[in-house]
A and B are shown apart, each in its own frame.
Chain A
Amino acid sequence: MTVPVLNATNVTKSLGGTPIIGGLTLSAEQGEFISVVGPSGCGKTTLLTCLSGLRNVDAGEVSFEGQKLDGPPDGMALIFQDYSRSLLPWRRNVDNVLFGMRRMTGVSAQEKRAKAMEMLAAVGLSKFETHFPWQVSGGMQQRVAIARALAARPHLLLLDEPLAAVDAQTRADIQDLLLSLARQFQKTCLLVTHDVDEAIYMADRVIVLSNRPTHVIADLQVPLPKPRDQIATRSEPEFLRLREKVLTLIRSMRTAA
């Protein structure tokens, strides 16, 4: 068997004395698209900061491509929930994308720039490269953040509720954009969301998290045909069955809490 891209074993993490993550185990195989759903405040963002090496875990272990994590590794990129603040307002969109390419060494400035433009084109923003992020809409800002993450040439993309703050139409557009980019660039993706429909629509596998201190309570395959389609996929019996199952799990936690 091949080494999983990401492997978290029995991870425990407290913040300010409050246990947030309690013995969580998950792994991601090469090329998989995984959704992680959990109730608001259960520790999803905290989990991503641990999986990305931004925070150390208290107990357990996180390894990336077989290497135990010690700080943010090369080959992983994060897309934050708070995209409008994660973009740097003093940099134009193309320079924000270039910001993500620090680890790319041995490449001329010109080539880097060309690559950054290419990434902006891939998210449909060729005409906005010299705009500042605050001059474009929220959906476009999130696209810039996606281009920046892809420009870092990660093997693994971690996404923290990237679409929670955009309107429904934009959300659907960016969902499909993400799916096609993930396929085109053969990325392994881990998408955190509290939106059950989005979790199922996007993923090969859905992981359901418990309340705090959070751990995995279900790990479900999503045997839906690909490429996904906003209308057809969402009306598949299998989609509805999974949706009911995940919602039931989440509701049972709410009553338990």
Chain B
Amino acid sequence: MLSLLRGSLSILGFLALWEIAARSGLVPTDYFPAPLLVGETLVAEIGRGEIVSAFVATFLRALIGATAASLLAIAMALLAARYAIVRRAFDPIAEFLRPLPPAALVPLAIFFLGLGWKLYGFILVFACFWPVYLNAAQALAATPRVQVETARSFGYGDWAILAHVRLPAALPTIFIGVRMAASIGLIAAIAAEMIAGRDGLGFYLMDAGLSLRVPETFAGLVAAMVAGLLINALVMVLRALTIGWHVQLTRMEAGA
């Protein structure tokens, strides 16, 4: 609580300095509008509604894309963990495709998929899949042997061990991937909107920026930041709900 207060104080201080610098003419206000002006613009833009729909579109794209990619990646990692042949077949493909920056795929994807939701679906799932898959596959392969043997001795079969031991043991690591996927999802959504979009924060930012509406561009940035904070907060809530034990254990080990 105290650290939260201290954190907000330091941000407030930073904004206050910026405001003073802008008013005293130390920074060119055409390019760096004062925070209060950005705030006013943001309120006005929210009133006009365009930034709200842009925010909602981008946020939902990132959220749905990251969720779908995470579920797909976990399912794939479970199959790879269960069947060595899946892992042997899929891992080289993963190594081959993973280095591709998702934004580089956009032009080709427009050609095949058009400009609609399919484009976003493809780019986002491609971008968010890898961190989850790689973390999940690695963690599922690293279950302590003694846990697996304990389960086997109590009559658990391979699928039951996957569900009752290997998956729960891997969840803390999987969440590292999911958290990465959530931020990558937002980046990919905004990048795709900038290149190919007709709506969303990426489009809004491009539009405002290219037409030199600087305060609006800053308002868009604030909206993107809020989207980033919100999606990360959602992941953290989900994490606390599913692996609260791990959150507690980590805290205990750090305290001890």
Contact = CB atoms under 8 A, between A and B. Distances in A.
Q: How large is the interface on A (under 10, 10 to 19, 20 to 34, 35 or more residues)?
A: 20 to 34
Contacts of B169: 88, 90
Interface in B149-172: 149-156, 160, 164-165, 168-169, 171
A90 B154 contact: no
Interface stretch (A19-27, A33-41, A69-77, A121-129): A69-77
A62 B248 CA distance: 44
Interface string A71-101: 1101011101010011011100000000111
Among B155, B156, B243, the most chain A Cβ lie within 10 Å of the Cβ of B155
A103 B155 contact: yes
A239 interface: no
Nearest to B172: A90
B150 A74 contact: no
Q: How large is the interface on B (under 10, 10 to 19, 20 to 34, 35 or more residues)?
A: 20 to 34
Main DSSP-derived SS at the B contact region:
helix
Given A52-B153, A54-B152, A74-B155, A85 B144 contact: yes
B245 A77 contact: no
A152 interface: yes
B156 A90 contact: no
Interface string A201-216: 0000000000000000
A94 to B, nearest CB: 14
Contact of A72 (B144, B152, B246, B248): B152
Interface in B121-157: 144, 146-147, 149-156
Contact of A134 (B149, B168, B171, B249): B249
Given A54-B152, A89-B246, 19 more contacts: A52-B153, A54-B153, A72-B152, A72-B154, A72-B155, A77-B153, A77-B154, A80-B146, A80-B149, A85-B146, A86-B146, A86-B150, A88-B169, A89-B245, A101-B154, A102-B155, A102-B156, A132-B248, A134-B249
17 contacts: A54-B149, A54-B152, A54-B153, A78-B153, A80-B150, A86-B147, A86-B149, A89-B245, A90-B243, A90-B246, A99-B154, A100-B154, A101-B154, A102-B160, A132-B248, A134-B249, A152-B154
Interface of B: 144, 146-147, 149-156, 160, 164-165, 168-169, 171, 243, 245-246, 248-249, 252
Closest 3 CB pairs of A and B: A103-B155, A72-B153, A86-B150
